Amino acid sequence: MSKPLKVAIAGLGTVGVGTLTLLRSQADLITQRAGRPVTVTAVSAKDRSKDRGVSLDGLHWYDDSAKMAAEAEVDVVVEVIGGADGIAKATCEAAIKHGRHLVTANKAMLATHGTELARAAEAKGVALGFEASVAGGIPIVKAIREGLAGNRLSQVTGILNGTCNYILTTMRESKREFAEVLAEAQSLGYAEADPSFDIDGIDTAHKLSILTSLAYGTKVDFAKVHVEGIRHISALDIRFAEELGYRIKLLGIAKRTANGIEQRVHPCMVPIASSIGRVEGVFNAVVAEGDFVGRALFEGRGAGAGPTASAVAADLIDIAAGRIGPAFGIKADQLSAIKAVPMSDYRGAYYVRLMVLDRHGVFADVAAALRDEEVSMEAVLQHGRAPGETVPVVMTLHSTREASMMRALDRISKLDAVVETPRLIRIENF
Amino acid sequence: MSKPLKVAIAGLGTVGVGTLTLLRSQADLITQRAGRPVTVTAVSAKDRSKDRGVSLDGLHWYDDSAKMAAEAEVDVVVEVIGGADGIAKATCEAAIKHGRHLVTANKAMLATHGTELARAAEAKGVALGFEASVAGGIPIVKAIREGLAGNRLSQVTGILNGTCNYILTTMRESKREFAEVLAEAQSLGYAEADPSFDIDGIDTAHKLSILTSLAYGTKVDFAKVHVEGIRHISALDIRFAEELGYRIKLLGIAKRTANGIEQRVHPCMVPIASSIGRVEGVFNAVVAEGDFVGRALFEGRGAGAGPTASAVAADLIDIAAGRIGPAFGIKADQLSAIKAVPMSDYRGAYYVRLMVLDRHGVFADVAAALRDEEVSMEAVLQHGRAPGETVPVVMTLHSTREASMMRALDRISKLDAVVETPRLIRIENF
């Protein structure tokens, strides 16, 4: 039998322990599939004495993961600490510097330093595997990098954050408001104590920036992602969406247009009947569109110990089997700079909800603002009348340029009869 | 630049021409992703003079594809002729014998000779790529073989034949009968003049037997697949399915049970709300369940020039980039024999439709037959009464052993009041 692939795990949280458990329980199967054993020989975490429910007997313990990455006699370092910089990045850099392969689940780090890490790994001839960083157990990195490699992709769209999808699904099912459902998700452990990374769209944007590079051969450019979260989504909007035949999802979209590449994260209305509209709860999904393959959809669990460990294991098996290539599918020095399309140039359809005082002539003012900005209305919904009171008025607008829409909305928001900030949700017609 | 990977294409039907077109139109992108050009230098087909809409200038032409596989100066032979034996197999064997990598879309051949071809390829140190043989453009072979390699899979289920799914979808949407929709599908080119390979489930069974080997590390064993097609599905059953909350799909299912591996292809009722129940028209989908990843779904176009060429290209890029491993994920001599579960030992829920003379006491006889075989009823549907006339009676049965169900059904079919062969459709509760 060939000699084992020796692995060090940096970080013994949920994912680290999950990976250790997987590599142990599937040892026979992995040996068959990798052509040799994949064996954890070293681990590091902050607190050695903590009970993690797994035996650490016989493993080299390091308090300092960067030291482990530099010194442990291993072939691969698995970094599952997290965080864009600090000890996680130091560990990854040390692993590469010492000629060890690197497998990481760290989307924040890849979104910020991905190109640089890929370049360093290539220079050292080591692998940089990050299947676990996007969409958990769904093997989407491999699918885009290899499975669809014969295609020029035009769009990659994903539900990439299970917390947001859970909140939006639960809001719809229970007809409750965002704050209440978030609090419940926190108490159930589905959302963090500080949920902003998830609900403000940052986690989705990290993952999207990685998918963009894989799809289009561009440098990872998180800074160019337009990011909006789901804090402003109300039960009212979800109800109107349903009435219009849509579901509200937080999507990450990387789209190739004639003017460059759009990278945007924002709540979207998608048709209820669409594949992506039906992805509910904590599930993630990615839709990729290629010129030869057409539309392909990948759906599965996007987080948790099991799915993430599954992704880490896939990278380790590839490395053990010698299936190693450039991290983002093409050589790091061939990755091109993103020509980003500014959000003001985005074109699409919109849903707008106004809260207006129900009185004569209001709608004429709204319509005039739209007309002056050449925004064309598709439909208007207003249920019943309530003279003198505040009522929601919902409009859908035909495809228009974002800048025009925003100018019209700015003017509308200043009308006396418009009593709250107008709510805007983009419509993606899949 | 590294030297090109030279490719010969055997067969210039839709897929062969599609592959040639893809490799030409994406040449720059493939060179980047493969690390070197992938260039077609030889082709073979029966009729040189036929206009295929692509230029064959500068390509070596062979009338005999086996001769091409033996003699052409190429690194890879792409076999897209089709057929389990004959010239397709001779071409593949010649390619391997002469040390050339083989990429094939030929599921019939793989289902029959897959293990033997994998063994021959391994002995020669060449790749055997067959991403295009299952589910068209969906990179499901790679997903199971590599992406989910860290998992012990418990079940792989697929809608693997676009023709059948198109027919079933159209029957439901248009409320028409099988024969009429099949005839229309034939006139539209969605079904072959001789449709039996598709509609009798054989094509699905070929593909399933390949997925089984990938999922469980077993020898390809098409003979052990239980196969039923969709000829007997009627508009009436589709309507009852809808009423019960189900869609009827032709599924290929490979399931690991305590008694061995089930491989079965038959129409199934699946919940309308399930991911697989929502896969409509010509689309294919595969659901894989692993112990760490949970459930993952892959959906896309299962046939046609573009999707199939996309899959062929993925294999070629892997070969060009040196990502080569055992065809079925583990070494051919480690593939184990399938311990097949006989269909009589299958356990599951059932839908049964009887056409009975509506008269006193009939149902007591049916119920007695079920009771004697220990088959337990979940629900019965009969709409209205029509004394003395023939009416449909639909029952759903709780999970039971196939042998018991069949004995009960045999007895029921012999009742005087039961005027047609009872129809049975298995229920899969995803």
Domain residue spans of chain A: 5-133, 140-301, 344-427
Which chain B residues are within 8 Å of A306, Cβ to Cβ?
A: 291-294
Region B224-228 average pLDDT: 98
Catalytic residues of B: 207
Average of per-residue pLDDT values in chain A: 96
- For residue A364, the Cα-to-chain-centroid distance in whole angstroms is 41
Residue of A216, A286, A310 to mutate, testing the B interface (most B Cβ within 10 Å of its Cβ): A310
B150 contacts A309? CB cut-off 8 A: yes
Distances (CA, A) of A329 to A333, A378, A408, A411, B31: 12, 42, 43, 46, 11
Question: What is the 3 state secondary structure string of chain B?
Answer: CCCCEEEEEECCCHHHHHHHHHHHHCHHHHHHHHCCCEEEEEEECCCCCCCCCCCCCCCEEECCHHHHHHHCCCCEEEECCCCCCHHHHHHHHHHHHCCCEEEECCHHHHHHHHHHHHHHHHHHCCCEECHHHCCCCCCHHHHHHHHCCCCCEEEEEEECCHHHHHHHHHHHHHCCCHHHHHHHHHHCCCCCCCCHHHHCCHHHHHHHHHHHHHHHCECCCHHHCEECCCCCCCHHHHHHHHHHCEEEEEEEEEEEECCEEEEEEEEEEEECCCCHHHCCCCEEEEEEEECCCEEEEEEEECCCHHHHHHHHHHHHHHHHCCCCCCCCCCCHHHCECCCECCHHHCEEEEEEEEEEECCCCHHHHHHHHHHHCCCCEEEEECCCCCCCCEEEEEEEEEEEEHHHHHHHHHHHHCCCCECCCCEEEEECCC
pLDDT at B361: 85
What's this model's pTM, rounded to 2 decimal places? Answer: 0.97
Which chain B residues are within 8 Å of A328, Cβ to Cβ?
A: none
For residues A168 and A247, give the distance between their C-alpha atoms in angstroms, rounded to a whole number.
9
Residue B402 has pLDDT above 80, yes or no: yes
pLDDT at B345: 96
Nearest to B314 among A147, A152, A300 (CB): A147
A310 contacts B292? CB cut-off 8 A: yes
pLDDT at B1: 55
pLDDT digits (tens, 9 = 90+) for B86-136: 999 999 999 999 999 999 999 999 999 999 999 999 999 999 999 999 999
- pLDDT bucket at B388, cuts 50 / 70 / 90: confident
Q: Distance (Å) from the C-alpha of residue B277 to the closest C-alpha of chain A?
A: 11
pLDDT digits (tens, 9 = 90+) for B331-359: 999 999 999 999 999 999 999 999 999 88
- pLDDT bucket at A1, cuts 50 / 70 / 90: low
Q: Which CATH class is domain B344-427?
A: alpha beta
Which chain A residues are within 8 Å of B32, Cβ to Cβ?
A: 217, 330-331, 334
pLDDT at B383: 81
Is residue A119 a contact partner of residue A125, using CB atoms and an 8 Å limit?
A: no
Residue A364 has pLDDT above 70, yes or no: yes
Region B282-308 average pLDDT: 97
Quote ipTM for the complex. 0.96
Residue A37 has pLDDT above 70, yes or no: yes
A29 contacts B329? CB cut-off 8 A: no
A299 contacts B292? CB cut-off 8 A: no
Residue A349 has pLDDT above 90, yes or no: yes
pLDDT digits (tens, 9 = 90+) for B4-52: 999 999 999 999 999 999 999 999 999 999 999 999 999 999 999 999 9
Q: Which residues, other chains included, contact B156 with Cβ-Cβ below 8 Å and sequence gap of 6+?
A: B144, B211, B212, B215, B253, B254, B255, B286, B287, B288, B289
pLDDT digits (tens, 9 = 90+) for A42-73: 999 999 999 999 999 999 999 999 999 999 99
Instruction: Provide CATH code, domain B5-133.
Output: 3.40.50.720
Average of per-residue pLDDT values in chain B: 96
- pLDDT bucket at B233, cuts 50 / 70 / 90: very high
B298 contacts A296? CB cut-off 8 A: yes
Q: Distance (Å) from the C-alpha of residue B425 to the closest C-alpha of chain A?
A: 26
pLDDT at B395: 96
DSSP lists the bridge partners of residue B393 as B354
Which chain A residues are within 8 Å of B150, Cβ to Cβ?
A: 22, 26, 30, 309-310, 312-314, 316-317
Nearest to B299 among A139, A142, A296 (CB): A296
pLDDT digits (tens, 9 = 90+) for A116-132: 999 999 999 999 999 99
Which chain B residues are within 8 Å of A287, Cβ to Cβ?
A: none
- pLDDT bucket at A384, cuts 50 / 70 / 90: confident
The answer to whether domain A140-301 has CATH 3.30.360.10 is yes
pLDDT at B122: 97
pLDDT at B144: 98
pLDDT digits (tens, 9 = 90+) for A168-222: 999 999 999 999 999 999 999 888 889 999 999 999 999 999 999 999 999 999 9
Q: Distance (Å) from the C-alpha of residue B29 to the closest C-alpha of chain A?
A: 8
Catalytic residues of A: 207
Neighbours of B86 (CB within 10 A): 12
Q: Distance (Å) from the C-alpha of residue A290 to the closest C-alpha of chain B?
A: 9
Percent of chain B whose predicted confidence (pLDDT) is above 70: 100
- Look at strands B38-44 and B60-62 and give their pairing: parallel
